[in-house]
C-alpha cells in the first residue's frame, strides 16, 4: 500500500515521503476504505510538524479525511456494504491507498455529490456549520471573521448567507476580495488603515454580536474592538502562531466573552441526531450549489512535496487534494 509517511516531525514538504507497506485490517466496528481522494488541511500539516493537539506515533501516515469506497468490514459492522461510496473524517492516515475508519462516523454519499466535494465535505464544512452555531447568531444578526478566504471562512460565509445571517468577511489582501466575489461573497480588505471604519459602516450601525479570529496576535484585539457590548470573540486558529493581543479595556467595558473553539471536541460532544441533521443540511446545500467546495489542484502521492507547497501557497483557488 502506497502512502505519504513521515518518520520525524518537521517541515511537511521535507519530511513527508512516499512509502510502501501492508494495507491495514479493520478491527471490530471499523471499515477499511479504498481512498479515492484525500484533502490537505492546515491541521494535517500542523500534525506533521508536531504542533497540533494530536501527536501521532512515528512513523505516521498523514491526512485525516477522505472520500472512498468501503473495501472491507470489521466484526459487528452493519448498515454498510462493500463498494459503497462514503466520506470520512477524523482519520489517522488518509494519505494512502487504504485507510481505516470507525463505521459509525461514515457518511454515505448520494450521486449528487462528486468525489471532489465528498473529499472535503466533513472536516471544514462541518467545523464551519458547528462554528456558526457556536457563535449564537441568528437571521438578521451581524458577525465578523478574519481570514475569511480560508476553507472554513468561505464555508462559514456561505452557510451564513443561506441562513440569513450577515457576515463581515475580512481578508488581508486586496486581491483576496476578488477571490471571494468569484464565489458570490462580499469581503473587506484590511490592507488600508481605514478598514475598521468601513466595517462599522457596512452594518449601518447594527451591533456586531460575535467575531471569529483565525489569525491571533493584534488581529484578535482588532476584532474585539468591533464587538458590541456582551459580544463573543471566538479563537478558531492562530496563523501568526502568537498569543492573542486584546485590550483589557475592551474586554472589561464591553463585558465581552472570549472562547476557544476546537471542532473535534464540539463534534464529539454533539448528540448523534444533531450531527446527522447538520450533515444532512450540508449535503443538501452542496448538492444545490449553495455551498461551494472549490478545488485548487489534485496531486498524486508521489508529488506530496509539491502538493504541500501548493496547499501553503497564498491565493490558491481551493482545497488541494491527493489521489493515491
Pairing of strands 295-300, 257-260: unpaired
> Measured between alpha carbons, how far is residue 109 from residues 27, 115, 209, 296 in Å?
23, 9, 35, 22
CATH superfamily for domain 124-264: NAD(P)-binding Rossmann-like Domain (3.40.50.720)
Alpha carbons 265 and 250: distance in angstroms, whole number? 29
pLDDT of 140 strictly over 90: yes
Q: How confident is the model at residue 89 (pLDDT cuts 50, 70, 90)?
A: very high
pLDDT of 123 strictly over 90: no
Which of 31-35, 115-119, 178-182, 276-280 is predicted least confidently?
178-182
Residues 6+ apart with CB under 8 A from 59: 5, 6, 7, 19
Grid look-up 457590548 returns 229
Alpha carbons 267 and 92: distance in angstroms, whole number? 17
pLDDT of 109 strictly over 80: yes
Alpha carbons 75 and 63: distance in angstroms, whole number? 25
Alpha carbons 188 and 203: distance in angstroms, whole number? 12
CA-only gyration radius of the chain, Å: 20
CB 164 within 8 A of CB 204: no
pLDDT for 15 equals: 98
pLDDT for 317 equals: 79
CB 15 within 8 A of CB 95: no
pLDDT for 264 equals: 79
2-121+296-323 is a CATH 3.90.180.10 domain: yes
* First-last CA distance in the chain: 9
Mean pLDDT to the nearest integer, 285-312: 95
Q: Give the start-to-end residue ranges of the domains of the chain.
A: 2-121+296-323, 124-264
Instruction: Confirm whether pTM is higher than 0.75.
Output: yes
Alpha carbons 283 and 109: distance in angstroms, whole number? 8
pLDDT of 56 strictly over 80: yes
Hey, which bits of the chain come out as E strands? 2-6, 16-20, 30-39, 60-61, 65-73, 85-89, 98-102, 107-108, 142-145, 166-171, 188-189, 208-213, 232-235, 257-260, 295-300, 319-323
pLDDT for 239 equals: 79
Alpha carbons 123 and 152: distance in angstroms, whole number? 9
Angle of helix 151-163 versus helix 123-135 axis, rounded to 10: 50
Alpha carbons 319 and 324: distance in angstroms, whole number? 16
Mean pLDDT to the nearest integer, 173-200: 91
DSSP 24: P
Q: How confident is the model at residue 175 (pLDDT cuts 50, 70, 90)?
A: confident
Amino acid at each position: 500500500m502506497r502512502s505519504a509517511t513521515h518518520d520525524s516531525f518537521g517541515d511537511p514538504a521535507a519530511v513527508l515521503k512516499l512509502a510502501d507497506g501492508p494495507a491495514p485490517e479493520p478491527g471490530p466496528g471499523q471499515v477499511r476504505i479504498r481512498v479515492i481522494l484525500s484533502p490537505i488541511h492546515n491541521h494535517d500539516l500542523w500534525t506533521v510538524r508536531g504542533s497540533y493537539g494530536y501527536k501521532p506515533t512515528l512513523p505516521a501516515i498523514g491526512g485525516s479525511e477522505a472520500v472512498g469506497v468501503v473495501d472491507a468490514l470489521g466484526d459487528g459492522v452493519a448498515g454498510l456494504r462493500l463498494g459503497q461510496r462514503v466520506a470520512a473524517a477524523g482519520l489517522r492516515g488518509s494519505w494512502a491507498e487504504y485507510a481505516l475508519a470507525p463505521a459509525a462516523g461514515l457518511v454515505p454519499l448520494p450521486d449528487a455529490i462528486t468525489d471532489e466535494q465528498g473529499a472535503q465535505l466533513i472536516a471544514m464544512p462541518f467545523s464551519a456549520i458547528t462554528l456558526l452555531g457556536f457563535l449564537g447568531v441568528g437571521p438578521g444578526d451581524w458577525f465578523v471573521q478574519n481570514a475569511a478566504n480560508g476553507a472554513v471562512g468561505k464555508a462559514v460565509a456561505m452557510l451564513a448567507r443561506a441562513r440569513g445571517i450577515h457576515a463581515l468577511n475580512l481578508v488581508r489582501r486586496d486581491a483576496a476580495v476578488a477571490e471571494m466575489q468569484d464565489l458570490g461573497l462580499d469581503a473587506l480588505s484590511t490592507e488600508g488603515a481605514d478598514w475598521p471604519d468601513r466595517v462599522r459602516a457596512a452594518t449601518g450601525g447594527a451591533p456586531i454580536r460575535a467575531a471569529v479570529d483565525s489569525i491571533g496576535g493584534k488581529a484578535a484585539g482588532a476584532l474585539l474592538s468591533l464587538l458590541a457590548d456582551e459580544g463573543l470573540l471566538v479563537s478558531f486558529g492562530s496563523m501568526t502562531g502568537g498569543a492573542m493581543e486584546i485590550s483589557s479595556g475592551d474586554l472589561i467595558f464591553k463585558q465581552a466573552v472570549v472562547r476557544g473553539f476546537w471542532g473535534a471536541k464540539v463534534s464529539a460532544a454533539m448528540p448523534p441526531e444533531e450531527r446527522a441533521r447538520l450533515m444532512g443540511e450540508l449535503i443538501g446545500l452542496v448538492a444545490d450549489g449553495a455551498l461551494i467546495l472549490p478545488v485548487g489542484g489534485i496531486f498524486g502521492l508521489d508529488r506530496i512535496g509539491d502538493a504541500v507547497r501548493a496547499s501553503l501557497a497564498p491565493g490558491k483557488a481551493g482545497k488541494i487534494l491527493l489521489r493515491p
